[in-house]
Amino acid sequence: MKRVIKILTFIIFSVSLFTIRIYPSQIQQNQIASENLTINKIDSVYKFYKDKLNVYKYPIREKLPQIKIPDYDTTQTTMNDKVNIKVVLPSKIKYADIYLFINKEKIDLYYSVNGGEYTFRNVRLRTGKNNIELFYTLGNIRSRSTTIIINNR
């Protein structure tokens, strides 16, 4: 009887060691598979929305009113590294996305706003010429751009 108990104990111990050795690798494989699935989902979402991310490809609707920038002339010089840019979106506009680009690079945006005054605060300027472009989008169409040039010394 003691011999049978010893053999059963040895078999149970061997099986448990074997399962412990296999089980963690299955967990790691499942984690790697789920990470790959997540990366593939992100890539497919990017491929699907790639055109939506490039707002320059949106068709320009000439009838949409432009954004107004009351505090700036078309060209200005400043010594400050950061500026506040106040924009006025016409009151008729609803659910627009306002984009701020500096030298063709997207810096900031207001998402899904209605007509009114908005301020882009502490916009960092680069040394030299800063071509600031502001426009808004409604769905897949965009307004004409309002541009100002700020020279930073």
C-alpha separations of 82 from 48, 87, 88 in Å: 36, 16, 20
Domain containing residue 18: 2-53
- pLDDT for position 46: 47
The Cα–Cα gap between 110 and 98 comes to 5
* Whether residue 123 is found in the same domain as residue 85: yes
Each residue of 59-75: pLDDT tens digit? 999 999 999 998 887 77
Phi/psi for 96 (5° steps) reads -100, 155
User: Which of 53, 73, 91 is where one domain is finished?
Assistant: 53
- What is the model's pLDDT at position 75? 77
Query: Is residue 120 domain-shared with residue 67, that is, in the same domain?
Result: yes
Same domain, 49 and 63: no
Residue pair 67/99 in contact by the 8 Å Cβ criterion: no
Q: Are residues 14 and 83 in the same domain?
A: no
**Does residue 21 have a pLDDT over 90?**
no
Domain check: are 82 and 147 in the same one?
Answer: yes
Lowest mean pLDDT among 52-56, 93-97, 99-103, 114-118: 52-56
Structural domain tally of the chain?
A: 2
Higher pLDDT, 18 or 40: 18
Collapsing DSSP states into helix, strand and coil, what is residue 115? Answer: coil
Distance CA 60, CA 123 (A): 26
* Judgement on whether residues 118 and 64 belong to the same structural domain of the protein: yes
Beta strands in 20-145 (DSSP E): 75-78, 82-89, 96-102, 105-113, 116-124, 128-138, 141-142
